Amino acid sequence: MANYLIGDIQGCNLTLGKLLELVDFSPSKDTIYLLGDLINRGPDNVGVLRRLLSLGSSAKSILGNHDIHFLSVEKGLKNPKNGDTIQDILDAKDRKELTLWLRSQPLALLAHRYLMVHAGVHPLWDTAKTMALAREAESVIGGPDYEEFLKNMYGNEPDAWSENLKGMDRIRFIVNVLTRMRFCSPTGTLNFTAKSSLSAGPVGFSPWFEIENRKTKDQLIGFGHWSTAGGTQKNNVVCLDTGCVWGRGLSAYRLAEEGLEQPSEHPTQRQGQWFTQETLEPPVAFLE
């Protein structure tokens, strides 16, 4: 009965297979939690999705920005971007089934004491609020206003949270936090101008998990999305994006069974065990 958090797969199905062998994954006993960006930039997106579907309830996924981007390309609302590799899903005979499955995946999960998101958690949201807002956005992505959402989801505004946000502005903000956020101000303003190293944020902004008084500071959180933060394990957060598609590796973090942890001042450090499979796919540069 092992539970694993796994970072951004991005179509690296071969590496995912090897990682599951490495941890001796048994679908009848174990559960893997995939932290979003299941597809894109890597070579075998169809393979990843079919594998996850076939694993049923032993693989639980959340959506990342690349997964949602695919939905808007699939719907014909966006052209593929330079470096996108999602054509294999568009050409697949089970395209419709795979797309429907993606649309029904959540934006956040709460399991084994971990809050799981692709990118981050807003400093003004506690765990219950985060889950409630994720459910709000999921019902739009999986519901009849789906096309309206895809038409309106691109954009960095609004950049601050207010309970009064309504309609697509509200949904866009929720999705931006959960699937794209990296840097944030202490009062919760988002900034999307910087993407690289943790220390290279714009003046006045920090990585979201370093905001001192964020409301989830006592909540264990697993996330992906930020390959330069991959392996980070502090402030109760653990970042699983270890840059598989950039030629580095795909990581799984085995959660300790509840009640069996060793006491430690750093809850994430007493919990998990890391496994990393070196990337087996060709470097992403060769795919572009």
Which of positions 156-215 make contact with Mn ion (CB under 5 A)?
A: none
> Which of 65, 216, 227, 251 contacts Mn ion by CB under 5 A?
65
Task: Measure the CA–CA gap between 151 and 154, rounded to whole angstroms.
Answer: 8
**Closest separation between CB of residue 11 and Mn ion, Å?**
13
**Closest separation between CB of residue 28 and Mn ion, Å?**
31
CB 23 within 8 A of CB 67: no
Residue nearest to Mn ion (CB): 225
Compare residues 69 and 215 and give the one whose CB is closer to Mn ion: 69
**Closest separation between CB of residue 163 and Mn ion, Å?**
27
Which of positions 206-225 make contact with Mn ion (CB under 5 A)?
A: 225
**Window contacting Mn ion (CB under 5 A); options: 32-40, 74-82, 102-110, 123-131:** 32-40
> Which of 43, 64, 123, 207 contacts Mn ion by CB under 5 A?
64
Q: What angle do CA 59, 61, 65 make, to 5 degrees?
A: 155
The 10 Å Cβ neighbour count of residue 177 is 27
**Closest separation between CB of residue 238 and Mn ion, Å?**
16
**Window contacting Mn ion (CB under 5 A); options: 38-46, 57-65, 156-164, 195-203:** 57-65
The candidate with the shortest Cα–Cα distance to 230, out of 266, 274, 265, 269, is: 274
**Closest separation between CB of residue 49 and Mn ion, Å?**
16
Task: Measure the CA–CA gap between 110 and 126, rounded to whole angstroms.
Answer: 12
Task: Measure the CA–CA gap between 140 and 288, rounded to whole angstroms.
Answer: 33
Task: Measure the CA–CA gap between 172 and 174, rounded to whole angstroms.
Answer: 6
Residue with tokens 């719907």: 75
Q: Is 41 in the site for Mn ion (CB under 5 A)?
A: no
CB 119 within 8 A of CB 240: no
Residue type, 202: P
Q: Is 37 in the site for Mn ion (CB under 5 A)?
A: yes
Q: What residue ranges bind Mn ion (CB under 5 A)?
A: 37, 64-65, 225
